Amino acid sequence: MGKNGACYMVFGARTKDYKGCILLYKSKDLHNWEFVSVPAGELDNMGYMWECPDTFKLGNKDVLLLSPSAALKLSYKIDKGNIVTILPDRGDRYFSKNIY
């Protein structure tokens, strides 16, 4: 179990107006899941849907990796102004492999 005795899961999704977003859910038993929030999303030119989200810690920062569908812009603001560049796909997979 993770923070506060719960497991957290992120989903890639899209809004009704076709903007990518991330949905956050939590569970204490891995069977019953509760919606928590939309921690990221609805950015112009960042694709109509976000897929394959992955989260992890890098030092003291939380990192979110994702695959934006049809993105026109290749960067995303996180953590009060730090910019992370999204690199073009390389290799034989289109998703992050953080915990496999």
Q: List, for residues 21-47, the tens digit of each pLDDT value.
A: 889 999 999 999 999 998 888 676 677
Average model confidence (pLDDT) across the chain: 75
Coil, strand or helix at 90: coil
- For 61, the token pair is 């920062």
Which residues lie across from 51 on neighbouring strands? 67
Q: Tell me the C-alpha distance between 5 and 3, whole Å.
A: 5
**Signed CA dihedral, 30, 32, 37, 42: sign only:** positive
State what percent of residues in the chain have pLDDT above 90. 14
Write phi, then psi, for 45 (nearest 5 degrees).
Answer: 65, 20
